[in-house]
Amino acid sequence: MARHGGGRGWYGKLIGAALGVTLLATGASLWTAQAGVADGVPPKAAASARPAAVKKVSESIEHASDKGPRGVNITIDDGPDPSWTPQMLDVLKERGVKATFCMVGTQAQAYPDLVKKVVAAGHQLCNHSLSHDTAMDRKPESYQAKQILDAERLITKASGGVRPLYYRAPGGAFTPFSRKTAAARGMRPLGWNVDTKDFERPGSDAIVATVQRELPNGPTVLLHDAGGDRSQTVEALRRILPWLREQGYSTGFPVR
């Protein structure tokens, strides 16, 4: 799994704003990664505000599919986006395919109706950090914790209470601390095997060819539904899904 920088310039503009859309804006406190209690909140108040207990999962980065050796995981990053997420959902619905949507916290907060549509259609949610900072692995652990835990909270709120089951570091910027933090909250670190590089807009033919060429490397395919014009990705997905079925593959979700 190589690092990639999909949408880096677009998300760079969000970093400053992201700090202003955390729950600090509503007067709530941020949860610390290790203690799980709110800074500056009296113990009794913190206890009543503490999130419901979740089951810790493995800290290792997962790539496998729950459909076994002939399974494929379609994963879609950086949204939701009002232009492209609905189109991706339409293509998936046409083919009866479920995908994993790796959502950015600020995007989920901005478009909660889209988050709910993704959930209602039977897709899985993945935490893709608060502001898609691809350099977060070089930032303090307190910053990494905010990026992960604030995003989890915003995505869960936008979905109407459905929690993300996975965590994918932006650009693959995982650290042992970020993996441990996510796993402690029940989010399996999620990698990828097939980087379509669709964020570079190489053309739908190139995106399809990359999937066909690299799928033997592993089952998890990386696509994007935000961060720019994703018309090529939509068209490529429309062609990839029937090809997978023709080749005898089944689509599923990443193993947790």
Catalytic sites, residue numbers: 77, 224
Task: Return d(Cα 8, Cα 132) in angstroms, integer.
Answer: 8
Q: How many CB atoms lie within 10 A of CB 78?
A: 27
Q: Torsion angle of alpha carbons 158, 60, 5, 155, nearest 10°?
A: 0
Show Cβ contacts of residue 83 under 8 Å, excluding neighbours closer than 6 positions. Answer: 230
Show Cβ contacts of residue 85 under 8 Å, excluding neighbours closer than 6 positions. Answer: 79, 101, 111, 114, 117, 118, 225, 226
Determine the length of the chain.
256
Task: Please say whether the dihedral angle defined by the alpha carbons of residues 211, 69, 126 and 146, taken in this order, is positive or negative.
Answer: negative
Task: Return d(Cα 236, Cα 225) in angstroms, integer.
Answer: 12
Task: Return d(Cα 194, Cα 102) in angstroms, integer.
Answer: 15
Residue 237 near residue 208, CB atoms below 8 Å:
no
